[in-house]
Each structure stands twice: as structure tokens, then as C-alpha cells.
Structure 1
Amino acid sequence: MQQAAAKPSDEDLSLAERAYRAIRDRLVMLEIRPGAPINEEQLGQSLGVGRTPVREALKRLQYESLITTYPRRGTFATDVNITDLAHISEVRQELEPLAAAQAARRATASDREFLAALSRELESAASRHQGATELLHLDLQVHRGIYAATHNPYLEDTLLRYDNLATRIWCLFIDRLSDMAGHVGEHGPLIEAIVARDADGAAELARSHVVSFERAVREAI
């Protein structure tokens, strides 16, 4: 899938940040399966970085509940527990509308350009009938773009964490979901509302999106 407008390139990031983002997304997309052991040396080799950046990345990922360490056993990707869905949705139903509204109010010209590019990518993905995995990558880009546009680092960090956990649940049932394209396509009107500075409309669309996510997952169980 072609990339939408770019935020800071890998060259602009520290080795630890690059390692963190790469390992995070492997965990979120279940490329590293739940319960799988985490091998620092293998990760470093696959990413082309040393052990120190990997260790720094793993400390952050443990805080974000994506990995867990057991004494004398090692480090593992956390399990995906469907019983967490209600708790995660409860938080997101409050904070996603807030983020959408604040993005509509605070987004810079650059933010709006980035989100508009993502909206065009959504339309293109629909016409190309992209697979579920590619659509999920796009879903992540949209959410992260909206969070960044709030210009509230605490809100952004909190929602990134919960969106990552929600996406892991989504991935667990990806083969059973009947309308992945429709779910991701809901972002189109949301982005339009943010770009148009319609805070109330963006908030309502964001709330509906979270509700439909939980409903779709429960129907797939």
C-alpha cells in the first residue's frame, strides 16, 4: 500500500525511537504473536540496531502493556484478552471524541494536509479492494494522525496506548470480520469534519466509530 503524507522520517528519529516504533507495530499487528518470547538479539539484527536501542524500546513497550517480563523466564508478548474489550472501549468512548474535537480546533495547516492525504488514501484503498491487513495499517495511520493533531501530548500518548491494545483485539478476529473496508471507511467523514473545523461533528463521528468497533468485534466472537 502506498504511503500517505509523511510525518518525521526514520532519519529524523533516534535509534531507540525507530526500534520502539518498529517493534510496537509488530506487536500491535500480531506479527509477533501473543505469548511469543522476545529475543533482543534477533530483534536488533532484524532492525539493524544494537541491543541498547532495543532494550530502551522494550522498557516503553512493557509500560504500554504490549510485553511482559517474568523473573527467570524472560520477556514475552502479552496475551490478547477479549475480556479487556469493554474496559478499553469505555476509555476510548470518552477520549476519542475529545481528541477528534480538539483536532478540529487545533490542527495546523500541515496536520490538515496530512489528514486530507490519508482521506484520499482511504478512497484509493476502497477502490483497490485492499486486504484487511493493509486496511488496518491505514486505520492506525488515521488514528495516530488525529491524536497528533490535538497537540496535547498527554492525550496523544494515552490514546495511542489504548488504540494499540484495541487493534490487537481487532487483529485477533480479522479473519471473521465481514466489513473491514466499511469500518475503516468510516474515517473519511471523520477526517472531513476535522479538516472543516467541525468539532461537534467530529466528536460524534469518533464516538460512533468506537461503538461500531466494539459491536463488530463482539459479533465476530
Structure 2
Amino acid sequence: MSQNLNLANQAYLAIEEKIVTLALEPGSLISERKLIEMIGLGRTPVREAMQRLSWEGLIEVRPRAGFKISEIRAEDCAKVVELRQVLEPRLARAAARFITPNLLEDVKTYRQMMLDSLPAQDAKLYLKADKGFDVAVMAAAENIYLTNILAPLQTHSRRFWYRYFSRDSMERLGQAHITVMDAVLARDDLRAYQSMETLMGVVAIHAQALKD
């Protein structure tokens, strides 16, 4: 059972990355067979991954036609960020309080990855660091209810960023991410809360610009 769950998670992460980075284009149709070939995993993990992605609003199941990759609407970005502004600081505070030594090492890894992505404006490395940090923080907070709400919002945000935001925003957003990471690494829950508020404020400015 654990192996099946691991394969399903691998399939989910592989497909999610392709959706976020627009390798699977918004509005396009793709068959189950093509997905299996694309990521090199079997039918069962791919189906489980697609069920999860459907629930998160990233794909639409089309009977007898395969899967449709959800469209991206610029006006939805602000709606996603509005919720994240409320919830993300609480998640960061809980993570700073309860983070384990193993997860601290993960955060250090993603902090360095984020730093490495900035000089060359490596968007895919930046997104990998962002995703990894989100996963580590959610694991540290140990609040499945908050995780179930935030995880899909974070994924949609990454896709919005890749589609609409200028790469010039990477430096500002990356440094704001690193400030949050430093607070979590210091286990300073108040600073983690405040720095995440600041980060979400920066994201909100970009999101509002899309809406306007």
C-alpha cells in the first residue's frame, strides 16, 4: 500500500510540475496513455494523481476523451491570493513552532535552492524550491485541514506566476521567501508569521495588477 501511495505521489508531482510550467498547455486535452508515456509510471498511480488534480481544479475529466488541462484566468489570481493572505501566516507560525530536525534540514536545502535560482532567474528551480518549502512547512505544521485548503491554492499560485508574472519579480519574491525560511529555521514563530504576511503582501500586489 505504501509503495502504491508513493508512486501516486510521484505521478502527482510530475504531472503537477508540467501543469504549473505550462508544458501541459491550459485548455489542452491529453489522454491517459499519453500521460503514462510522458511520466513513465503505470496506469494506477496516474489515475490516482489525476483524481487529486481534478479535485484541486487543475484538470477536468472528460469521459472517453481523456483530461482537459484547466484554463488560466488572470482575474482568478487575486481570489487565490486573498485566501492565502489569511492562511499562510498561520501556517508559517505553526511550522516554526513544531518543525523537526529532519524538516529543518529540508528547509535549509530549499533555501539554498531558492538562492541559487535568483542570479540566473531560473524559474523552474525557483518553483521547485517554492514547492519543496511549502511541502516542508505543511509537514511541520501537522494541520491536515489547513494543508488540504492551502496546497491547491499554492499550486494555482505557482501556475499564475509562471504564466503572468515578470521574471523581474523573482528577486523580490525570492528574497521575501528566504526571509520566511530564515524565521522558520530560527524557530521564531512571530517572525515567521510577520515575514509570511509581508511575502503574501508582495504576491498580492502582483495579483492585483493582473486584475486591474
Tell me which moved more, 28-37 or 117-126: 117-126
Counterpart of 1:101, as a letter, is R
C-alpha distance after superposition, 1:139-175 (max 9, x if no partner): 222222222221222222321110001111111114x
Partner of 1:76: 68
Counterpart of 1:187, as a letter, is H
Structure 1 gaps, min length 5: 1-10
Q: What SS does the aligned partner of 2:61 have?
A: strand
Determine whether 1:164 maps to 2:159: no
Contact 1:89 1:214 in 2 (8 A): yes
Contact 1:190 1:205 in 2 (8 A): yes
Structure 2 gaps, min length 5: none
Q: After TM superposition, where is structure 1 displaced by more than 6 Å over at least 4 residues in a row?
A: none
Partner of 2:134: 143
Give the TM-score of the pair, scaled to structure 1.
0.85
Distance 2:116 2:43 in 1: 39
Q: CA RMSD in A?
A: 2.2
Task: Count how many residue pairs are aligned between Structure 1 and Structure 2.
Answer: 209
* 1:32-47 pair list within 5 angstroms: 32-47=24-39
Distance 2:170 2:187 in 1: 27
Q: 1:183 aligns with which of 173, 195, 207?
A: 173
Distance 2:107 2:7 in 1: 27
* 1:1-221 pair list within 5 angstroms: 14-70=6-62, 73-126=65-118, 128-174=119-165, 176-219=166-209
Shift of 1:213: 1.1
Q: What SS does the aligned partner of 1:35 have?
A: coil
Distance 1:218 1:141, change over 3 A: same
Shift of 1:13: 5.4
Give the TM-score of the pair, scaled to structure 2.
0.88
Distance 1:114 1:74, change over 3 A: closer
C-alpha distance after superposition, 1:8-47 (max 9, x if no partner): xxx8953222212211221122221111112110111222
Distance 1:46 1:184, change over 3 A: same
Shift of 1:178: 2.1
Tell me which moved more, 104-113 or 68-77: 68-77
